[in-house]
Chain A
């Protein structure tokens, strides 16, 4: 079946660098009481700015304010998704911290969602902009730690809580 390409208009030019970082990490936990996922996304600040600039036709410079939360939240939710059972997460930004070493942490909380045995993670943040981007999830759940790496050719991974150990 033919699929029509969805083209987003953008005015921003490509980014090129000889020295690339290209990684981001998600640290994730499921809060059994609130039944929400709590996540921290750590990524390179200027990578995110450039990816969003290209993606949204918006010139975004991140600072300590919450001015761009709506746009960032929309972008993050497109590239960091969790499906468990028939439910899909939607994350809200509850805060962020920009480090002077060039990284930014976004603190996210999902809407309440039931946690099923099998969890599917899609984590292709920045991959549409940087072909060498790699991401990694570390999921802490009931004294167990699960990690999954993500690359451009492998953007969705699953974890089965019953069958997998650390």
Chain B
């Protein structure tokens, strides 16, 4: 029912309570300094260390042992003298005495099958076997291994601005990835007894020393990935002579490892905008059967990379095409066994090219000369210039549509990791979201540019609602260390990707967001950013105060649930007695008790209708009648108004007071779609700052020229609201998924329906 407005002068009352989500975040962030400034950019004295590697590595295809020797040249660009160096020994996570085995939580429910039990007894002697650390002059250096870390003690501190070179020799048993799991390892193919190696975390690598952590020596427990300094690599990889090697970096010795025909094809691919086969399936199949004797050494160089990985197998089919980025050519390549076809030959390299181009648009120009996708059953894992991706068709060469989309998604995601964290080099061991979350966000943008309506798993706001709603007992804030996160995928991938999407689509708008996001990427390419650098840059480059957003989305487990509690409808009191009396009569007559109408019919005559003497002054007066006194009072009222005020008073404006409650805790913009009596609509977007003084309840008055028939809150599913049952006026009860399914689904399948349609002659 509409109401007339009662005008009461209210004194504004403001209550400044305790710190809320709109409080400044700066007090919680690290203090800006000469290394990282308050704008979120590298400071004027920013530094980072350099680690250059020269490595010789051999894969023994009979024993599956990797043997290596490396010379590391470490340059101390910090202002500090370093008494010791820390090296990462990530393979030790698979050592027999690894902490990772001890800290995994078991229950007897995990021993349901014989393979569950077998897994506990797998006799795999993993981990690095360090054979020695020596100076370049051959002198033994002191070292101490602490699980997945190794400390090298120096005779004298490594002074600021100076370098040191030393050698390490090691070997390890490569893990059977299909048995033991892992980001790298080998897959054995029983047919023809062949191996496909995807090799990573394979050499002792320098830890990061930075202004933030000092030495980043948090142990590798298996989940929190890597923190690595940039450097230049020269790597010689010795493998069976019929193997094809795909690797980080640029091949230096084409003439000794490729046939003239392969070199010709590669030359063609370098200028082709469609994939060209360098090794065909037929050639790969022949190699599988023939198994040549002897060894070959492939040499690669990579500049300014944080890591180095490679893949090798005689099973590899190899194709490549060019993709121009920022005036430079990027050779996009794929390496895959016949088991990957027909999907891989058709899509992989095109996906690599599309990903490199699209990410470059939103972040920084892809700086490396090559980008590679390697087929690797089940997993998805990323390294500079190269990644290992799943997506295997059935043995008969068929594949389901979801296998295709799964393969597309994982290739885009893993190639995208070149940007986060390979180039914009955040510390994965501390913050998974800084690479996975940002990467998943750009993955969504890239998928949508690959195919209109691409069924992205993460990105759109409404997809995160199931995860965020309700009991928060087992979920973590995004700002949680990588090893401690509950619900890893949703927390570190889905929620930050969604948050960024909301910033882009709803809070900041695409132009401001894209500029700020690109600024962050440009500022921190080939550097080590922290969360504060990201938060600060996004605000600094956009002039949008996002402290509330970071606090709510990144530091809490609150969710979005804004309730449209109440709608009050008002019209202005015109004081015109002809209008107001008529309106009052209309209102009074409309809202009648059911008995009144029935009494009119059933009671022929009441006493006062029969007896004229009953009705006195009060009984006889017409309370809706307009008399001269009413009109005189109206004339006097009008004399106090200007012409504009009078016009406004008679405008027929409709007033709606809407009351909202923030049930979920995250303050969000209030997006409303009003539908009017003439079926037109209007969308009004209220910034989140409406909650800045009152985080729990707010109200807002809207004024329209005509009546509103319905109101919808968050009509475009853009805020991740977890409960739509309180988002509509009049109330609309949302069906459950089950109800929707039952309502929409008959028992016939699409082909049966098609049959019926044909029978109709359609």
Q: Which of A125-158 touch B at CB < 8 Å?
A: 127-128, 131-132, 134, 136, 138, 140, 145-155
> Are A14 and B749 in contact (CB-based, < 8 A)?
no
A-B complex: 6 closest residue pairs judged by Cβ atoms: A16-B181, A147-B470, A149-B474, A40-B737, A100-B455, A101-B457
B632 at the interface (CB under 8 A from A): no
From A97, A134, A154, B487 is in contact (CB under 8 Å) with: A134
Q: Which of A2-10, A81-89, A113-121 contacts B (4 or more CB under 8 A)?
A: A2-10
> Are A101 and B456 in contact (CB-based, < 8 A)?
yes
Q: Identify the closest chain A residue to B472 (Cβ).
A: A149
Q: Which of B70-78, B81-89, B102-110, B236-244 contacts A (4 or more CB under 8 A)?
A: B102-110
From A45, A99, A128, A138, B455 is in contact (CB under 8 Å) with: A99
> Are A5 and B378 in contact (CB-based, < 8 A)?
no
B684 at the interface (CB under 8 A from A): no
Q: Which residues of A contact B413 (CB under 8 A)?
A: 19
A73 at the interface (CB under 8 A from B): no
> Are A18 and B379 in contact (CB-based, < 8 A)?
yes
B591 at the interface (CB under 8 A from A): no
> Are B402 and A95 in contact (CB-based, < 8 A)?
no
Say how far A11's CB is from chain B's closest CB, in angstroms. Answer: 8
From A6, A11, A22, A100, B489 is in contact (CB under 8 Å) with: A22
> Are B108 and A5 in contact (CB-based, < 8 A)?
yes
**Contact flag A19-B381 (CB < 8 Å), given A6-B112, A13-B115, A40-B736:** yes
Q: Identify the closest chain B residue to A98 (Cβ).
A: B402
From A19, A46, A153, B107 is in contact (CB under 8 Å) with: A153
> Are B487 and A8 in contact (CB-based, < 8 A)?
no
B215 at the interface (CB under 8 A from A): no
Q: Which residues of A contact B410 (CB under 8 A)?
A: 19
> Are A102 and B405 in contact (CB-based, < 8 A)?
yes
14 pairs from A and B in contact (CB 8 Å cutoff): A8-B114, A16-B378, A17-B380, A19-B381, A22-B489, A23-B487, A29-B738, A29-B739, A40-B741, A100-B401, A102-B406, A131-B105, A131-B110, A134-B474
Q: Which residues of B contact A154 (CB under 8 A)?
A: 474
B323 at the interface (CB under 8 A from A): no
Q: Which of B108-152 touch A at CB < 8 Å?
A: 108-117, 119
Say how far B733's CB is from chain A's closest CB, in angstroms. Answer: 9
From B380, B457, B474, B488, A103 is in contact (CB under 8 Å) with: B457
**Contact flag A136-B466 (CB < 8 Å), given A17-B378, A107-B737:** yes
Q: Identify the closest chain B residue to A46 (Cβ).
A: B406
> Are A23 and B471 in contact (CB-based, < 8 A)?
no
> Are A45 and B488 in contact (CB-based, < 8 A)?
no
Q: Which of B172-180, B278-286, B344-352 contacts A (4 or more CB under 8 A)?
A: B172-180
A64 at the interface (CB under 8 A from B): yes
A77 at the interface (CB under 8 A from B): no
What per-residue 1/0 map shows which CB atoms of B458-469 lie under 8 Å from chain A? 000000001101
A70 at the interface (CB under 8 A from B): no
> Are B112 and A8 in contact (CB-based, < 8 A)?
yes
> Are A97 and B741 in contact (CB-based, < 8 A)?
yes
Q: How far is the CA of A29 from the CA of B737 in the complex (A)?
A: 10
Say how far A158's CB is from chain B's closest CB, in angstroms. Answer: 13
Which A residues lie at the B interface, using CB under 8 A? 3, 5-23, 25, 27, 29, 38-40, 42, 45-46, 54-55, 61, 63-64, 94-95, 97-103, 105, 107, 109, 124, 127-128, 131-132, 134, 136, 138, 140, 145-155
Q: Which residues of A contact B115 (CB under 8 A)?
A: 10-14, 54
Q: How far is the CA of A66 from the CA of B546 in the complex (A)?
A: 49
Q: How far is the CA of A97 from the CA of B183 in the complex (A)?
A: 31
B634 at the interface (CB under 8 A from A): no
Q: Which residues of B contact A39 (CB under 8 A)?
A: 738
Q: Which residues of A contact B737 (CB under 8 A)?
A: 27, 40, 42, 105, 107
Q: Which residues of A contact B405 (CB under 8 A)?
A: 100-102
> Are A148 and B177 in contact (CB-based, < 8 A)?
no
Q: How far is the CA of A5 from the CA of B117 in the complex (A)?
A: 10
Q: How far is the CA of A14 from the CA of B745 in the complex (A)?
A: 36
> Are B489 and A9 in contact (CB-based, < 8 A)?
no
B362 at the interface (CB under 8 A from A): no
Q: Which residues of A contact B394 (CB under 8 A)?
A: 61
Q: How far is the CA of A151 from the CA of B498 in the complex (A)?
A: 24
Q: Which residues of A contact B170 (CB under 8 A)?
A: none
Q: How far is the CA of A25 from the CA of B384 in the complex (A)?
A: 35
> Are A25 and B466 in contact (CB-based, < 8 A)?
yes
Select the residue from B488, B738, B745 with max chain A CB neighbours within 10 A. B738
Q: Which residues of B contact A136 (CB under 8 A)?
A: 466-467, 470-471
Select the residue from A22, A45, A101 with max chain B CB neighbours within 10 A. A101
Q: How far is the CA of A150 from the CA of B107 in the complex (A)?
A: 14
From A9, A128, A145, B110 is in contact (CB under 8 Å) with: A128
Q: How far is the CA of A163 from the CA of B232 in the complex (A)?
A: 64
**Contact flag A38-B473 (CB < 8 Å), given A16-B378, A107-B741:** no
> Are B738 and A7 in contact (CB-based, < 8 A)?
no
Q: How far is the CA of A128 from the CA of B119 in the complex (A)?
A: 13
From A9, A94, A145, B114 is in contact (CB under 8 Å) with: A9
Say how far A91's CB is from chain B's closest CB, in angstroms. Answer: 11
Q: How far is the CA of A17 from the CA of B414 in the complex (A)?
A: 13
B715 at the interface (CB under 8 A from A): no
**4 extra interchain contacts, Cβ-Cβ under 8 A, other than A17-B181, A140-B736, A153-B105?**
A14-B180, A27-B466, A64-B749, A102-B457
B606 at the interface (CB under 8 A from A): no
From A20, A29, A101, A145, B723 is in contact (CB under 8 Å) with: A145
> Are A20 and B474 in contact (CB-based, < 8 A)?
no
B490 at the interface (CB under 8 A from A): yes
Say how far A72's CB is from chain B's closest CB, in angstroms. Answer: 16
Select the residue from B183, B405, B409, B736 with max chain A CB neighbours within 10 A. B736
Select the residue from A109, A124, A149 with max chain B CB neighbours within 10 A. A149
> Are B114 and A155 in contact (CB-based, < 8 A)?
no
**Contact flag A40-B738 (CB < 8 Å), given A10-B115, A149-B471:** yes
What per-residue 1/0 map shows which CB atoms of B375-391 lie under 8 Å from chain A? 00011110000000010
> Are A27 and B738 in contact (CB-based, < 8 A)?
yes
Q: Which residues of B contact A9 (CB under 8 A)?
A: 113-114
Q: How far is the CA of A145 from the CA of B470 in the complex (A)?
A: 8
Select the residue from B110, B456, B741 with max chain A CB neighbours within 10 A. B741
Q: How far is the CA of A98 from the CA of B493 in the complex (A)?
A: 22
B610 at the interface (CB under 8 A from A): no
B676 at the interface (CB under 8 A from A): no
Q: Which residues of A contact B739 (CB under 8 A)?
A: 29, 38
Q: Which residues of B contact A46 (CB under 8 A)?
A: 406
What per-residue 1/0 map shows which CB atoms of B485-518 lie under 8 Å from chain A? 0111110010000000000000000000000000
> Are A138 and B112 in contact (CB-based, < 8 A)?
no
> Are A132 and B488 in contact (CB-based, < 8 A)?
yes
From B117, B402, B487, A102 is in contact (CB under 8 Å) with: B402
Q: How far is the CA of A148 from the CA of B381 in the complex (A)?
A: 32
> Are A10 and B104 in contact (CB-based, < 8 A)?
no
Select the residue from A9, A19, A124, A151 with max chain B CB neighbours within 10 A. A19
Select the residue from B113, B471, B474, B723 with max chain A CB neighbours within 10 A. B113
What per-residue 1/0 map shows which CB atoms of B398-415 lie under 8 Å from chain A? 001110011001100100
B156 at the interface (CB under 8 A from A): no
Q: Which residues of A contact B749 (CB under 8 A)?
A: 64
Q: How far is the CA of A95 from the CA of B473 in the complex (A)?
A: 31
Q: How far is the CA of A103 from the CA of B475 in the complex (A)?
A: 21
> Are B457 and A23 in contact (CB-based, < 8 A)?
no
From B111, B181, B736, A38 is in contact (CB under 8 Å) with: B736
Q: How far is the CA of A86 from the CA of B183 in the complex (A)?
A: 47
Q: How far is the CA of A19 from the CA of B488 in the complex (A)?
A: 9
B742 at the interface (CB under 8 A from A): yes
Q: Identify the closest chain B residue to A139 (Cβ).
A: B470
B182 at the interface (CB under 8 A from A): yes
Q: How far is the CA of A19 from the CA of B390 in the complex (A)?
A: 11
Say how far B206's CB is from chain A's closest CB, in angstroms. Answer: 22
> Are A19 and B741 in contact (CB-based, < 8 A)?
no
**Contact flag A16-B182 (CB < 8 Å), given A10-B115, A136-B466, A153-B107:** yes
